[in-house]
Amino acid sequence: MGRDRGVRRFGAALLICAVGIGLLSCSGPTDPLPTETPTPTRARPASDIVPVPIAYAPLRGTLADGAALAHPSIGVKIDNHEEARPQIALNRSDIAFEELVEGGITRYAVVWHADVPDEVGPVRSIRPMDPDILTPFGGPVAYSGGQDVFVEMMMSTGLPNLVFDYDETGLFYRADDRPGPHDVILLAKEGVGRYLELGPPPTQFVFGGTDPLADPAYAAQPTSHIALVFSDARFPSWDWDAATGAWLRSQEGVPESEASGERVRATNVVTLRVGIDWSWGEVPRTVLDGGGEAWVSAAGRTAHGTWSKASREAPIVLTADDGTPLRLAPGNTWVELVPNEGGVTFAP
């Protein structure tokens, strides 16, 4: 019995050793135990970590590097004569306004901030509604010239005015491959760089998710086609392209592309009914003091509401029929300033 007890003790010792060896290594021979305590690796102090300042682009509602947004926007008068097409870098803009000018044609007041191109154009002259459109953004405004009274109106806003007619710094040039006067090109990024002390623009619209009008309270209607009539000479349209999640632009029934070859597109189309003031003779002035009827088209839907603007410096406020803010999807926006006498149609 004593011998059996000794055998059992020896077997138990072997078992304990086997378990210990197994804990050290489950495959192959074990490494020798360290004779010195290893020096622990020093953790990187928080002060050495440089965070990326993420922010929302104020005019697009999209996430971006905050440091890359720390500059002003630039508003530019862009030509829309047939001989001015294709325009440069429209798809990189944050907000583009289409306005009626003399002869029944339209021009654009375009604002770039989140993605300022090296060059934009063709640049054309200022009109009496442009101070009301561009003042709320607070950045420099570029145009080719204009009637003295309209230039004085724009100068009186206090915004930096970059004017081709007066420029002696090389900020503008004439493109050899474009017919005059539709050939003036602006070095936009350089223009912005001259006024970094102004800082970024304030937010203009309220943004929601990628389908901001899905809430039944908006009573938004499915929309595949937007048809607008400014005059007999200008009747742009937009078609919803679900594959790209964008509205695609046409003019007078012809698909419109920009100079890059890309189809002109928008995440949001905001349509405003506006009055026209003919106090300036043949030059119409879009009336933006007050308010009127509005529609927001985003993610293949259109919701109805109203717009208002309290002052020249104030942004346009969009309100749904239920009294809540009309929200836009994150991305670029086109604002169509359609005269009350014009046409607005939304097809399902």
Is 171 in the same domain as 229? no
Going by C-alpha positions, the residue among 119, 97, 101 that lies closest to residue 109 is: 97
Going through 231-339 in order, the beta strands assigned E by DSSP cover 236-241, 246-251, 254-255, 265-266, 268-280, 283-287, 290-298, 301-309, 317-320, 333-339
- Amino acid identity of residue 294, one-letter, is A
Going by C-alpha positions, the residue among 291, 307, 293, 269 that lies closest to residue 342 is: 293
| pLDDT for residue 298 is more than 80 | yes
> Are 328 and 270 a contacting pair, CB within 8 Å?
yes
Is 59 in the same domain as 193? yes
Q: How many domains does the chain divide into?
A: 2
Chain segment 169-181, per-residue pLDDT in tens: 999 999 999 999 9
Token pair of 113 as six digits: 């901030």
Chain segment 211-269, per-residue pLDDT in tens: 999 999 999 999 999 999 999 999 999 999 999 999 999 999 999 999 999 999 999 99
Is 310 in the same domain as 246? yes
d(CA 172, CA 122): 10
Is 171 in the same domain as 289? no
Q: Which residues pair with 173 in a beta bridge?
A: 185
Structural domain of 155: 54-198
Q: How many CB atoms lie within 10 A of CB 47?
A: 6
Q: pTM here?
A: 0.85
Is 142 in the same domain as 262? no
Bridge-based pairing of strands 236-241 and 225-229 is: antiparallel
